[in-house]
Chains A and B, each alone.
Chain A
Amino acid sequence: MLDLALKDLKEHKVRTILTALGIFIAITAIVSLGSISTGVNELVTSSTGLIGSDTIFVMKHFDFSEITAGPPQDMIGEIDADAVSEISSISGVKRAVPVIARAFMGFFEVDGLDMDAVDMFGAQDIEFKEGWWPENDEKGAVLGYLPASMLDVAVGDYIELNKKEVEVFGIFEEGSGAYDLVILMPYDYADEIYETEGGATQLMVEPEDISMVTEIKQIIEDEYDDLDAMTMEDALSMMEEITGTLNIMTFGIGFVASLVAAIGIIITMYTSVLERRRQIGIMKAVGALRRTILIQILQEGLLLSVVSSLVAVAISFFFVEMLNNILLGGINLAVITPALAIGAIAYGIGLTVISSLYPAWIAVKTDPIKAIREG
């Protein structure tokens, strides 16, 4: 009887298109938001995994009430040279690596750091497309794949940072995770470019022993009121909180979109049942069982939802490609995993079939004599 359901959908094109549109919008919203949530989760996981679990981040206390427009790195104050040197000499500290971080072209980050300490950032094994790391006393930078391709530069070319020409020493291979988005250079050279006078945006502190992490963090916080110290554990829990909030937002928007779609489906299917009351009456009069009527209405919902959900997922793939490649210049912020795509299709089908139950029940209860007589 699937052919009859299909015929009925074709017969009422406007109604069919409106219902399909409701399902399409809900599934597109769910897949698009879900893809951003998945992408951010993956980006955070890949970034945090690079740094050792014994590392303590130290940065200037950040007051969220003073947030203004612009990249966060430009709002965070700097740790002065004295504090950098004092923290380095705290008992139990193996090394304290100052980092000068600056935003670049909106998406990218320039980091000045000790070239002998790249292992602290998990960067020691990154493969190079061309060139190599600069030495600490050299004046040059290594570019991630994306800034290099966006600026269209090769080793030996120059890029402009803080109105100064900086030579490209190396370019990372594509697919280096978070390092696709950075520009790294020796700390001293970044200090010169950005005129930070021995200060740092952040300090990466490595204790002699992992058991000393908490103790050293406490010492730093006690000694410096204007500094925040954060262990890897703190960073992870903060990241989890952020991604958790994002997931809740995704769920919330998806839920609202689903609710609107469900109401739309119920209204259009219900109207369709009322419009076809006479037809349903005739079907019952010539021998259709209640089950037959129920199945036909549900089949209509099923056909609609399968097509709408598949189109929604296909369009979402297109949106995500546009977002990542055109708007974000190649950053995979949004990711549609097979599980997300299949889950969204299954959800779309389930949502429609459940929403069709009430209209189907109304159809089942139709009194054939009344329906034929009154139409």
Chain B
Amino acid sequence: MKKDVMFELQDVCKIYRMKGVETHALRGATLQIRKGEYVALLGPSGSGKSTLMHIMGCLDTPTKGRVFVEGREISKLSDDDLAKIRREKIGFVFQAYNLIQGLTAAENVALPMRFSGYGRGDAQKKAKELLKKVGLENRMDHKPNELSGGEQQRVAIARSLVNDPDVILADEPTGNLDTRSGKEIFELLENLHKKTGKTIIVVTHDINLAKRAHREIRIKDGTVTN
């Protein structure tokens, strides 16, 4: 495997079993994403793109097939080993922001750093720096319910960056936002890619937004079509 490969999926299948009924979310997906790429995962609703992102993001493991993150196979790793990879290498941005309601913006951003063993002071300092970078210097002590959708997503982006990961995985990051806020979030991700060279993978079903990425990977019925 080449050294510059960030993710490699070989014939990955994912089957969910619910009350005896099997749902095939992925049916032999194969793809490769290099380090530093800005990729859009494109596909209609229910095509399996979020499942693919969860598997690449070590939130889930495949039923069949092999998944490599920087050359390390993750299919059979324990929960804690997967959590360590998520913590160190991957930053997540979710459609529904997924911020913890009881914590302030700065505390939410600091959380992954606290999980990495940093003290409250160091983590809060770094969180505040990142919140400044995403334009939320005046909203640091606000709780999620006191922020707009666009602001919450900015907090989520700051949180995804706090442990300085190699990859940002964004699952429909503009799905809950109005057009203007959505555009701002995309610009933020683009700038991030330009300035840091991090691998950025954005899941979306918006073709116009997907075109702004350097490469499109199209998913349909659980398989990669291009």
A interface residues (Cβ-Cβ under 8 A, vs B): 1, 3-4, 7-8, 11, 278-279, 282-292, 368-369, 372
Contacts of A7 in B (CB 8 A): 102-103
The reply to whether B79 and A286 contact each other, CB–CB distance below 8 Å, is no
Interface of A is mostly: helix
| Bound form: Cα–Cα A368–B58 in Å | 11
* Interface 0/1 of B76-105, CB less than 8 Å to A: 000110011011100010101011111100
Contacts of B80 in A (CB 8 A): 289-291
Q: Which of B1-9, B111-119, B177-185, B196-204 contacts A (4 or more CB under 8 A)?
A: B111-119
The reply to whether B163 and A369 contact each other, CB–CB distance below 8 Å, is no
Q: Which of A8, A278, A291, A368 contacts B59 (CB 8 A)?
A: A368
Query: Which of A8, A283, A284, A287 is packed against the most chain B CB atoms within 10 Å?
Result: A287
| Bound form: Cα–Cα A289–B83 in Å | 6
| Bound form: Cα–Cα A284–B90 in Å | 13
Number of interface residues of B (CB under 8 A): 27
The reply to whether B94 and A288 contact each other, CB–CB distance below 8 Å, is no
Contacts of B163 in A (CB 8 A): 287
What are 19 inter-chain pairs, A to B, with CB distance below 8 A? A3-B120, A7-B102, A11-B102, A279-B101, A282-B100, A283-B100, A285-B86, A286-B87, A286-B92, A286-B112, A286-B159, A287-B84, A287-B86, A287-B116, A289-B80, A290-B79, A292-B115, A369-B60, A372-B94
The reply to whether B102 and A287 contact each other, CB–CB distance below 8 Å, is no
Contacts of B116 in A (CB 8 A): 287
Q: Which of A4, A285, A289 contacts B92 (CB 8 A)?
A: A285
**Nearest CB on B from A210, distance (A):** 72
Whether B126 sits at the interface, judged by CB under 8 Å, is no
Closest to A10 in B: B102
* Interface 0/1 of B149-163, CB less than 8 Å to A: 000000000010001
Closest to B162 in A: A286
Contacts of A3 in B (CB 8 A): 120
Closest to A279 in B: B100
Whether B54 sits at the interface, judged by CB under 8 Å, is yes
Q: Which of A278, A283, A368, A369 contacts B115 (CB 8 A)?
A: A283
Contacts of A284 in B (CB 8 A): 83
**Nearest CB on B from A7, distance (A):** 6
| Bound form: Cα–Cα A214–B109 in Å | 83
**Nearest CB on A from B120, distance (A):** 6
Closest to A278 in B: B98
Closest to B116 in A: A287
**Nearest CB on B from A374, distance (A):** 12
Contacts of B96 in A (CB 8 A): 372
The reply to whether A289 and B84 contact each other, CB–CB distance below 8 Å, is yes
The reply to whether B120 and A287 contact each other, CB–CB distance below 8 Å, is no
Closest to A1 in B: B114
Closest to A12 in B: B102
| Bound form: Cα–Cα A368–B83 in Å | 10
The reply to whether A369 and B111 contact each other, CB–CB distance below 8 Å, is no
Contacts of A292 in B (CB 8 A): 115
Contacts of A279 in B (CB 8 A): 100-102
| Bound form: Cα–Cα A279–B59 in Å | 15
Closest to B57 in A: A285
Q: Which of B84, B98, B114 contacts A285 (CB 8 A)?
A: B98
**Nearest CB on B from A288, distance (A):** 5
| Bound form: Cα–Cα A21–B36 in Å | 55
The reply to whether B54 and A287 contact each other, CB–CB distance below 8 Å, is no
The reply to whether B115 and A286 contact each other, CB–CB distance below 8 Å, is yes
Query: Which of A4, A8, A291 is packed against the most chain B CB atoms within 10 Å?
Result: A4
Closest to B98 in A: A282
Contacts of B120 in A (CB 8 A): 3
The reply to whether A285 and B59 contact each other, CB–CB distance below 8 Å, is yes
Closest to B120 in A: A3
**Nearest CB on A from B123, distance (A):** 11
Query: Which of B80, B98, B99 is packed against the most chain A CB atoms within 10 Å?
Result: B98
The reply to whether B115 and A8 contact each other, CB–CB distance below 8 Å, is no
The reply to whether A287 and B115 contact each other, CB–CB distance below 8 Å, is yes
| Bound form: Cα–Cα A278–B101 in Å | 10
The reply to whether A286 and B111 contact each other, CB–CB distance below 8 Å, is yes
Closest to A364 in B: B79
Contacts of B98 in A (CB 8 A): 278, 282, 285, 372
Closest to A286 in B: B112
The reply to whether B112 and A287 contact each other, CB–CB distance below 8 Å, is yes
| Bound form: Cα–Cα A290–B116 in Å | 13
Contacts of B54 in A (CB 8 A): 369
Contacts of B84 in A (CB 8 A): 287, 289
The reply to whether B59 and A286 contact each other, CB–CB distance below 8 Å, is no
| Bound form: Cα–Cα A230–B112 in Å | 75
Nearest 9 pairs of A and B residues by beta carbon: A287-B87, A11-B102, A286-B112, A287-B115, A282-B98, A288-B115, A287-B112, A289-B80, A287-B86
* Interface 0/1 of B56-73, CB less than 8 Å to A: 000110000000000000
Q: Which of B60, B83, B100 contacts A287 (CB 8 A)?
A: B83
**Nearest CB on B from A276, distance (A):** 9
The reply to whether A8 and B102 contact each other, CB–CB distance below 8 Å, is yes
Contacts of B99 in A (CB 8 A): 282
Q: Other than the known A286-B115, A369-B59, what 5 A-B pairs have Cβ atoms closer than 8 Å?
A: A279-B100, A279-B101, A287-B116, A287-B163, A368-B59
